[in-house]
Structure 1
Amino acid sequence: MTSDSRPEIVIRDEDWYGRDLSGRRFEHHAFIDTDWTEVGTEGTVFDHCSFAGVRFNASRHTAAAFTNCTFRHCVFFDTHFTDCKLVGSVFQQCTHTLFRVTRGDWSFTALPGADLREAVFDGVRMREADLTGARLERATVTGTDLSGATLRGARLTGADLRGSDLTSLDPLTVELAGARIGPEQAVVIATALGLDVT
């Protein structure tokens, strides 16, 4: 049952390989152990849906909305999201390999502890996202709005953070060795450390 007690439509153990779901709308659907390999969702809307054990391998999502959705034990291999809206969605124990997000609104998403090593987030709005303990080693997080985001315990070793809003980052609670930042971001971090930048 979803948060507003509406019953879910359950889709279980189905092979949706290569389906084009563009322009469709799904509300209160539960997708369980479903193969979404090479699925396309241009302009598709998923609202209050849940995904458990879904394989999103090589799927492409463009201008789609996954709002207030839950993803549990899903596999995102070579998965691309472009100009998508995932506001309020939660990711739990998913795998993200060759994962790429370009633009779009991922505000208030929850990715605590997510393994996002070498993932790409370019020009994404991630205001107040929960990235507590996320693994972002060697990730590309460029031009991304992380204002209000929770980053405590995040591993950003070797990450490219240039052009992103780091005002919520506490350098004493994250791993930053080798991360790439710009001059303005260096001032933000130095100020957070209590240094007087003149």
Structure 2
Amino acid sequence: MNVFTDEHYELVDFGDRDLKEAQFIRCTFERCTFASGSLEEIETSGCRFNSCDFRGAVMNASTHTETAFLNCQFGEANLFVAKFDRCKVTGSDFVKAQLDGITIVQGDWSYVNLRHARLTKQDLRGVAFYEADLAGANLEKADLRKADLSRANLGQAKLKGADLRGAEVDGINWLNVDVKGVRMDSVQAISFLRCYGAKVE
């Protein structure tokens, strides 16, 4: 196993390197590309990836702990059974990424593009999805208790059986959200009714 500690990389192309099972500790990557790279089972801890390109990369079974992926591209990347533990992934794009079996433990996923993502039955408790684009995402039976969904785009998202109790839902446009079978608390129910013009006293 290759172990990299406290390294700094800028504008480096890792796409043609075999980094399978590599371990990165407190490393920083600025505008690097891992596009179509072999990153199976890599481990990152306390790393920072800023505006990096992971499009088409194979990252299945990778593990990331307290790592930041800021404004990164994950389009069509394979993240099958990957784990993100308390990571900051703000502004990143996961369009058409393979997310089956992914594990997300808390963390900040604000401003991310997760349009049409498959997140069924996921434990997403406490995750920050502030202004995230979840349009068309499949969140059926997902546990979103105490998550921050403020101003998130949930248009056409599938939420049947999802649990939203205790989640922040300010600014959600409920007019194009199907809430059938969704578990809500009283505060969220009031927000929903007010979106439809009801006067709740």
Normalising by the smaller structure, the TM-score range is 0.7 to 0.9
Paired residue for 2:21, among 18, 34, 37? 18
Paired residue for 2:183, among 180, 184, 191? 180
Structure having the larger proportion of residues in strand: 1
| Cα distance, 1:96–1:33 mapped onto 2, change above 3 Å | same
2:71 is matched with: 68
Cα drift, residue 62 of structure 1: 1.1
**2:46 matches 1:47:** no
Paired residue for 1:141, among 125, 141, 144? 144
Task: Give, as a single letter, the amino acid of the residue that structure 2 aligns with 1:43.
Answer: G
Q: Which moved more, 1:37-46 or 1:161-170?
A: 161-170
SS of the residue corresponding to residue 124 of structure 2 reads strand
Cα drift, residue 35 of structure 1: 2.7
1:114 is matched with: 117
Identity of aligned residues (%): 35
> C-alpha deviations, 1:127-155, integer Å up to 9, x for none?
11111222212222221111121222211
2:153/2:173 contact within 8 Å kept = no
Unaligned runs of 5+ in 2: 1-9
> C-alpha deviations, 1:37-64, integer Å up to 9, x for none?
2211110110010112122222211110
Structure 2 length as normaliser, TM-score?
0.86
Give the RMSD, CA atoms, in angstroms. 1.9
Structure 1 length as normaliser, TM-score?
0.87
**2:131 matches 1:128:** yes
1:193 is matched with: 196
1:40/1:59 contact within 8 Å kept = yes
Task: Give, as a single letter, the amino acid of the residue that structure 2 aligns with 1:109.
Answer: V
> C-alpha deviations, 1:2-35, integer Å up to 9, x for none?
xxxxx94222244322211121111111112223
- What is the count of residue pairs matched by the alignment? 192
**2:163 matches 1:156:** no
Q: Partners in 1 of 2:64 and 2:100 — Cα distance? A: 16
